[in-house]
Amino acid sequence: MIDAILDRKWLASLLFALLLIILWQCMDVFELLPSYVLSPWDILDALVATTVDGTLPLASVQSVLLQLSGFAVGAIAGVVLGLTAGVSRWAEDFIDPVVSLTYPLPKIALFPVVVIWFGYTDFSRALVIATSCFFPVFVNAYAGTRSIEPRLLWVARNADAGKARIFLQVILRAAMPAVSNGIRISLALSFILTYATETLGASAGGLGNMIEDGFNDLQYGPLWAGIVAFAILGLVADRIWGRLSALWTRGQLVEAMGRV
Amino acid sequence: MSEKVIDRVTSTTGQEPSTPSGYRAAESQRRWARRARRTVAVLLPFVVWWTLAEIANNRLFPGPIEVIATLVDVTADGTIWFHAQQTAQRGLTGLAIAVVGGVFLGVGMASVRWMDSVLEPLVSATYPIPKLALFPLLVLALGFGAESKIVMVTLECAYPVILTTYAATRGVDKHYLWLARNVGAGPLARFGIIMRATSTSMVATLRMALPIMLVIMVVTELISESRGLGYLLRRASSDFDPELTMAVVLLLAIVGFVLDRLVVLLGDFVGRWAGKVQL
Amino acid sequence: MERAHADDLTEVAAGLTHSLDELSVSVTDLTKVFRRGNREVTALDGVNFTARPGEFVTVLGPSGCGKSTLLHILGGFESASTGSVEVFGKSVTGPGRERGMVFQSATLFPWWTIQRNVAWPLEVGGMGRKASRARADDLLELVGLTGFGDAYPGELSGGMQQRAGIARTLSLEPQVLLMDEPFGALDAQTRELMQEELNRIWQASGTTVVFITHDIYEAVFLGDRVLVMSGRPGRIVADISIDLPRPRGHDVKGSPEFSDYHARLWNLLRDEAIASEFLSRD
């Protein structure tokens, strides 16, 4: 019996998670939880309540719009520059040193600087999210392009393929798994930064602001609803990207993780 | 692989000088050209920054010279040391807990069946969740002080550590472990073998976790603190002191760069210990 | 060691079998010097050989003797330091479709199906999508992979991948097939099967083949001629015609003639192998 469950990994962990949730609910029944830890049932209640009064959907849309705009700009810039640096030595010499120097800086530290110029606006937020998202995508796209198997290029040259064709049909395809990994890391990062930038400064809107307000006003319902919404968004975005990238990396080996 | 792809794609044979001396001259010329371009690439952003600041001539947009001078000032009078020390102490504590705990969990998941079945899918599934959103709860539970930040850093950094350790341990050549059993080595000795075999990917993991640690420290200190570099950033920003703000950013960049180099050095050291030259 | 002049051999070849007065492959005084930092390593030192159209030439040598370098120069992927390399009278200056390369590993594009991999060189050559795929299916049939066109390379065994790799190279319709230890990575049984297959495919296609190997059995079984290379610096120390009847089946390997060839080549190779064994330790 136990063997059969352990063989199905998802089933074992699902049962384990259920057990934890039941335990959590029981702790509430015996009043062992502090006031700010809601029981699973109360969290569900809060989710329904904030959905019905419209605050949760509104905040989610605001957050997703902010996250998507920053992420898209950063990721696209990362892919374009990463591939360029991987393919051209000139571009590499100009881009790589700058990226290596700025890479270890926690990009969120730029937020207070940007705020001095543009205030606590969505533009400032998107700018910082985009900057953060650029780096993992760039680093992985660059590495993916550079680490292409040289014999594959020989095969292409043997067939007398032109430069544009080699770039589109060989280099780009070979770099796809690495690019995908970079984008996946950036996607996770974009949610962290969306939360961070929305929490800082008043009048932000979005889920981060909802959580922050809940915290300040001791409104634990909206606080938990915001946290759960963030979790669901992060998970769903990751799953969607996983499915999408599986389509165009078919046949290729995708490593579990690229560089953050 | 140091050659560039397109260079390899486009280079037609026969362009290469056939005499050795000609080849060497061309090679050294190319190397100098590269060095020159790379130097320009590092200096160019500073020059652009300086020029823009001169043109703008605005108090809110200081040039690189003013910012570096400010950094030197606050370093000299010691104010920044206190904050930097606070940030480093908490960040590194959280990171250390994440690494030690993450390695044990990762090795455990990879070698104990029930841990694999019960924990691995949970860890993988919760990996993309932005755990930072839990910070308000940690503050409610542990207060605004050091504890909530250390736990936050641990939580965010542990994930990559667990998952890479898991993957690396599963990738260890089974024959090493069989050999160890064959000569009657105990579980501790076997753990030692796993550590040695996975040590280089551990360093790579540390290199991944380090920037995460810095991000989390800065964010949590920006949100709620009266000490640390993040706090200094927020205060300088709300005082409309762009010079100090940018000086702190510069310091963070330097700290991040130095820490990253240290990990690379550690990687060289570990690589020699593990009998592989890598990183 | 005899160093035949290309001109002499041209006459001989023209006089003997072909009305063509050109040689398929002609390598004259080829040397290749690599630079490693300040050190110079001579990989090839005065290599001379020719091949007639449709001939199967195997190049046999110890590891590290520069066999692969020779083939890469023939393919146009590396350049000669001195000397000349001509294929059908044209000097080799870069890669070209008339010289098809087959590498040790199949190097298929992992992101495309087997069929698309084989059809790709045809697409590059300007053939339409439909026609190129039909032609790819024919080639897959030739190499015994009918029904595997929709599989991805990662789903096939090493031997099947190598078959697909050969089919892809054949789609170039090369005048010369350059094979760099194509079966070196395969297990013993698969290798023997592939050798027999290659014999069949070569006889069907009629191209010239230059085949690199360090396996004496393989060299004798496949080749019309075996060129024996010395250890570094590589040069050709013997050129031996293999007069075994065609088509050759598996039973040839048991014949006394086969054993004689093997013994002769092993005697030639033995000293070179010992030398390279100790040379390769640096």
What CATH number has the domain bearing residue A78? 1.10.3720.10
CB contact (8 A) between residue A174 and residue C111: yes
Q: In Å, how far from its chain's centre is CA B7?
A: 31
Does B120 contact A at CB distance below 8 Å? yes
B7: in domain: no
User: Quick one: pLDDT at residue C21?
Assistant: 55
The residue segments making up the domain with residue B47 are 14-57
User: Quick one: pLDDT at residue B277?
Assistant: 42
Mean pLDDT of chain C: 85
CB contact (8 A) between residue A87 and residue B236: no
Looking at the structure, do residues B86 and B178 belong to the same domain, yes or no?
A: yes
Q: Which is nearest to B248 in space by CA: B214, B278, B213?
A: B214
| Closest CA–CA distance from residue A74 to any residue of chain C (Å) | 26
Looking at the structure, do residues A43 and A143 belong to the same domain, yes or no?
A: yes
Chain A neighbours (≥3 Cβ pairs under 8 A) are B, C
B3: in domain: no
* Chain B residue with the nearest C-alpha to that of A100: B257
Looking at the structure, do residues A18 and A100 belong to the same domain, yes or no?
A: no
Looking at the structure, do residues B125 and B80 belong to the same domain, yes or no?
A: yes
Amino acid present at B74 = V
Both structure tokens of A169? 């049909």
CB contact (8 A) between residue A155 and residue C101: yes
Measured CA to CA, the distance from residue A190 to residue A128 in angstroms comes to: 10
User: Quick one: pLDDT at residue A233?
Assistant: 95
More confident residue, B267 or A66: A66
A255: in domain: no
| Closest CA–CA distance from residue C40 to any residue of chain B (Å) | 9
Structure letter (DSSP) for residue A240: H
Does A240 contact B at CB distance below 8 Å? no
CB contact (8 A) between residue A158 and residue C100: yes
Looking at the structure, do residues A11 and A70 belong to the same domain, yes or no?
A: no
Looking at the structure, do residues B53 and B89 belong to the same domain, yes or no?
A: no
B44: in domain: yes
Both structure tokens of C233? 């610096």
Does B239 contact C at CB distance below 8 Å? no
Q: Which long-range contacts (CB under 8 A, 24 or more apart) does A249-252 make?
A: A249/A176, A249/A177, A249/A180, A249/C111, A250/C111, A250/C152, A251/C110, A251/C111, A251/C112, A251/C113, A251/C152, A251/C153, A251/C154, A251/C155, A252/A176, A252/A177, A252/C110, A252/C111, A252/C154
- pLDDT for residue B171 is more than 90: no
Q: Which residue ranges of chain A lie beneath pLDDT 50?
A: 256-260
Q: Which residues lie below 8 Å from residue C12, measured CB to CB, with a gap of 6+?
A: none
Q: What is the largest CA-CA distance in chain B?
A: 75
CB contact (8 A) between residue C33 and residue B12: no
| Count of structural domains, chain A | 2
Measured CA to CA, the distance from residue C164 to residue C274 in angstroms comes to: 36
Query: Of A43-47, B136-140, C13-17, C142-146, which gets the smallest average pLDDT?
Result: C13-17
Measured CA to CA, the distance from residue A213 to residue C15 in angstroms comes to: 97
CB contact (8 A) between residue B23 and residue C76: no
Looking at the structure, do residues A11 and A73 belong to the same domain, yes or no?
A: no
Looking at the structure, do residues A131 and A61 belong to the same domain, yes or no?
A: yes
Looking at the structure, do residues B92 and B113 belong to the same domain, yes or no?
A: yes
Q: Which is nearest to B205 in space by CA: C12, A257, C22, C150?
A: A257
**Chain B neighbors of A87, CB-CB under 8 A:** 4-6
Query: φ, ψ for residue C60 (rounded to 5)?
Result: -115, 135
- pLDDT for residue C3 is more than 80: no
Looking at the structure, do residues A15 and A67 belong to the same domain, yes or no?
A: no
What is the number of residues in chain A? 260
Helix, strand or coil for residue C181? coil
Looking at mean pLDDT, say which of B179-188, B217-226, C136-145 comes out highest. C136-145
A258: in domain: no
Looking at mean pLDDT, say which of A191-200, B13-22, C225-234 comes out highest. A191-200
Amino acid present at A150 = P
Looking at the structure, do residues A152 and A59 belong to the same domain, yes or no?
A: yes
- What is the interface pTM, i.e. ipTM, of the complex? 0.88
> What pLDDT, in 10s, does the model give residues C84-134?
899 988 888 889 899 999 998 888 999 999 999 999 999 999 999 999 999
Looking at the structure, do residues A20 and A127 belong to the same domain, yes or no?
A: no
Measured CA to CA, the distance from residue A200 to residue A210 in angstroms comes to: 12
B121: in domain: yes
CB contact (8 A) between residue B211 and residue A98: no
Q: What CA–CA distances, in Å, run from B115 to A12, B125, C83?
A: 10, 15, 65
- pLDDT for residue B278 is more than 70: no
Query: Which of C38, C79, C92, C99 would best serve as a mutation to test chain B binding (most B beta carbons within 10 A)?
Result: C79
Helix, strand or coil for residue C82? strand
C6-98+179-279 fold: Rossmann fold (3.40.50)
Looking at the structure, do residues A21 and A79 belong to the same domain, yes or no?
A: no
Tell me which residue in A149, A159, A250 faces C120 most closely, judged by beta carbons: A159
Does B118 contact A at CB distance below 8 Å? yes
Looking at the structure, do residues A139 and A210 belong to the same domain, yes or no?
A: yes
A253: in domain: no
Query: φ, ψ for residue B224 (rounded to 5)?
Result: -155, 105
* Segment (H or E) for C168: helix C158-170
pLDDT category of residue C16 using cuts at 50, 70 and 90: very low
Q: Which is nearest to C61 in space by CA: C279, C280, C265, C281?
A: C265
CB C95 within 8 A of CB C77: yes
Q: Which is nearest to B212 in space by CA: A237, A79, A189?
A: A189
Measured CA to CA, the distance from residue C62 to residue B49 in angstroms comes to: 60
User: Quick one: pLDDT at residue A57?
Assistant: 95
Looking at the structure, do residues B35 and B102 belong to the same domain, yes or no?
A: no
B9: in domain: no
CB B253 within 8 A of CB B193: no
Looking at the structure, do residues A14 and A70 belong to the same domain, yes or no?
A: no
Burial letters for B190-221: b for 16+ Cβ neighbours within 10 Å, e otherwise?
Answer: bbebbbbbbbbbbbbbbbbbbbbbbbbbbbbb
Looking at the structure, do residues B135 and B241 belong to the same domain, yes or no?
A: yes
* Chain B residue with the nearest C-alpha to that of C41: B20
CB contact (8 A) between residue A116 and residue B230: no
The residue segments making up the domain with residue A222 are 38-248
B2: in domain: no
| Closest CA–CA distance from residue B9 to any residue of chain C (Å) | 10
Measured CA to CA, the distance from residue B174 to residue B181 in angstroms comes to: 11
Amino acid present at C179 = M
**Chain A neighbors of B102, CB-CB under 8 A:** none
User: Quick one: pLDDT at residue B15?
Assistant: 39
* Chain C residue with the nearest C-alpha to that of A157: C95
Chain C neighbours (≥3 Cβ pairs under 8 A) are A, B
Measured CA to CA, the distance from residue C173 to residue C206 in angstroms comes to: 10
Both structure tokens of C186? 């395969």
* Strands, sheet with C225-229, edge to edge from the N-terminal-most edge strand: C99-102, C176-180, C208-213, C56-60, C225-229, C236-241
* Segment (H or E) for C59: strand C56-60
CB A37 within 8 A of CB A43: no
**Chain C neighbors of B20, CB-CB under 8 A:** 33, 35, 40
Looking at the structure, do residues A122 and A236 belong to the same domain, yes or no?
A: yes
Q: Could you tell me where the DSSP H helices lie in chain A?
A: 2-7, 9-29, 40-52, 55-87, 89-102, 110-118, 122-146, 150-158, 163-165, 172-199, 206-216, 220-248
- pLDDT for residue C41 is more than 70: yes
* Chain C residue with the nearest C-alpha to that of B27: C37
> Which residues partner with C40 through β-bridges?
C35
Query: Which of B8, B9, B11, B13 would best serve as a mutation to test chain C binding (most C beta carbons within 10 A)?
Result: B13
CB contact (8 A) between residue B18 and residue C81: yes
Query: Which of C73, C108, C111 would best serve as a mutation to test chain A binding (most A beta carbons within 10 A)?
Result: C111
B29: in domain: yes
Measured CA to CA, the distance from residue B263 to residue B204 in angstroms comes to: 8
> What pLDDT, in 10s, does the model give residues B125-163?
888 899 999 999 999 999 888 899 999 999 999 998 998
Does B18 contact C at CB distance below 8 Å? yes
Looking at the structure, do residues B50 and B128 belong to the same domain, yes or no?
A: no
User: Quick one: pLDDT at residue C245?
Assistant: 85
A254: in domain: no
CB contact (8 A) between residue C77 and residue B13: yes
Both structure tokens of B101? 């705990």
> What pLDDT, in 10s, does the model give residues C232-261?
788 888 899 998 888 888 888 889 999 999
> What pLDDT, in 10s, does the model give residues B189-200?
878 888 888 888
Both structure tokens of C68? 């692969």
User: Quick one: pLDDT at residue B18?
Assistant: 44
- pLDDT for residue B270 is more than 90: no
Does C182 contact A at CB distance below 8 Å? no
> What pLDDT, in 10s, does the model give residues C196-205?
889 888 988 8
Does B13 contact A at CB distance below 8 Å? no
| Closest CA–CA distance from residue A165 to any residue of chain C (Å) | 8
B73 exposed, middle or buried (CB, 10 Å; 0-12, 13-18, 19+)?
middle
Tell me which residue in C33, C35, C78 faces B13 most closely, judged by beta carbons: C78
- pLDDT for residue B5 is more than 60: no
CB contact (8 A) between residue B24 and residue C81: no
Measured CA to CA, the distance from residue B152 to residue B216 in angstroms comes to: 7
User: Quick one: pLDDT at residue B276?
Assistant: 52
User: Quick one: pLDDT at residue B275?
Assistant: 65
- pLDDT for residue C275 is more than 60: yes
3-state secondary structure chain B: CCCCHHHHHHCCCCCCCCCHHHHHHHHHHHHHHHHHHHHHHHHHHHHHHHHHHHHHCCCCCCCHHHHHHHHHHHHHCCHHHHHHHHHHHHHHHHHHHHHHHHHHHHHHHHHCHHHHHHHHHHHHHHCCCCHHHHHHHHHHHHCCCHHHHHHHHHHHHHHHHHHHHHHHHHCCCHHHHHHHHHCCCCHHHHHHHHHHHHHHHHHHHHHHHHHHHHHHHHHHHHHCCCCCHHHHHHHHHHCCCHHHHHHHHHHHHHHHHHHHHHHHHHHHHHHHHCCCCCC
Tell me which residue in A106, A196, A200 faces B252 most closely, judged by beta carbons: A106
Does B143 contact A at CB distance below 8 Å? no
Measured CA to CA, the distance from residue C135 to residue C122 in angstroms comes to: 9
User: Quick one: pLDDT at residue A12?
Assistant: 85
B223: in domain: yes
